[in-house]
A = this chain, B = another copy of it.
Amino acid sequence: MKQLKNRNPSVPGFKAAGLSCGIKDNCIKDLALIVSEVSATAAAVFTKNRVVSPSVTWSRRALTKSGSCRAIIVNSGNANAVTGLKGLNDCNEITKKVAQELNIPQQEVFIASTGIIGVPLPSERILLTTPKLVKQLGNTAKSWKDACDAILTTDLVPKSDRISYTFKNQHIVIGGITKGSGMIHPNMATMLGFLFTDAVIDTKTLKTALKEAIDRSFNRITVDGDNSTNDCVTILANGKAKNPTIKTGTPAYKEFLKALTNLCKNLASKIICDGEGATKFVTVRVQGGKTRKQAYLIANSVATSSLVKTALFGEDPNWGRIFCAVGNAGAPFNTDKVNILLNKNMLLKNGSPTNLPPKRLEKAMKQSEINITIDLNCGKEWEEVLTCDLSYDYVKINAEYTT
């Protein structure tokens, strides 16, 4: 599937590095570090899974205590989840080491991990490699590419993006890197996202903006319906742009939110393009909803239906499965008012089949981008959920992950 171009995510005042510490075999990069030159305002959203990695526990605590952040250390290849007491101890040791090497307070060091669950983290490898990692910190395209590479698991490609805008003569930059291709589902997924901006923005506003942006992006993608133990999206704002402080509800906030949402959407789309085994990029849009919740439940039901996803993989114009998934959403709607379109072909009008020529539909299904639009015709609310198809390769990747 066509991948969206990665932009260099570099933002003034931030540095990155990535290298191999030996968690993964064959010198594959597995350790990344992102550092802000100054203490940055921070906000984060964490997994809603009740089983959480000590890394999540650690970073959540650090964020609550300090509200600010200087560095994020990320390892891939091991989720440091379900690892007992050793797990939290490892987080303490690793963040202490990073803090020492950078000469910053330990509570300003966040940690994130992704990979296999239930295997003790080989933390000594991380500790040994940290000094070298700190030395390699830079703000070149290569530095960021290294960091991007080092956070991947079953991802086939690194994922980064950058967006900038000017508001009242102030130039603001937001960059981000992300990883994830399986266990991808709202709230959140084995998905890590690290965003950084030079904007001046207070903690509360940054938190609100992150939440709003995520609810239209990272929380609206699904690969396989599983949320992981480790997910987080963190944003750091270092204030280098020296703009007047952005406050909720102001025009400056709207501009910032728009840019942040677009950045998150681009990064979220990259995750779907790289979905495990994906051959199609699928947008399920529910419009004409009475409430956002109704629209979301229905979009999510279609986007998570194995029967819809296998039909898309098989380019099988078996659209009845789409309507069936709409009915399964657990949300009320009037079946006689529903229209369903697939890449602009009307399949169902007012709840009845339009009996389109199968050839036309078959042609539409051969596209690598599939837009399914469901119009409930009962209001103005909408939601979009991005997903991919379910292919042989999804099964292959997940049946053979640790063996």
Contact = CB atoms under 8 A, between A and B. Distances in A.
A138 interface: no
A320 B49 CA distance: 13
Given A117-B323, A323-B117, A353-B84, A224 B392 contact: no
A191 B81 CA distance: 38
Contacts of A180: none
Interface string A19-51: 000000000000000000000000000000111
Given A118-B323, A333-B50, A348-B82, A398 B183 contact: no
B353 A226 contact: no
Contacts of A401: 311, 314, 316, 318
B228 A324 contact: yes
Interface of A: 49-52, 79, 81-85, 116-119, 182-183, 224-229, 304-307, 310-311, 313-321, 323-329, 332-333, 335, 348, 351-353, 390-392, 394-396, 398-403
Given A323-B82, A325-B226, A395 B402 contact: no
B226 A398 contact: no
Copies per complex? Answer: 2
Contacts of A390: 395
B306 A398 contact: yes
A-B complex: 5 closest residue pairs judged by Cβ atoms: A117-B320, A314-B399, A51-B327, A310-B398, A118-B320
Contacts of A332: 50
B116 A320 contact: yes
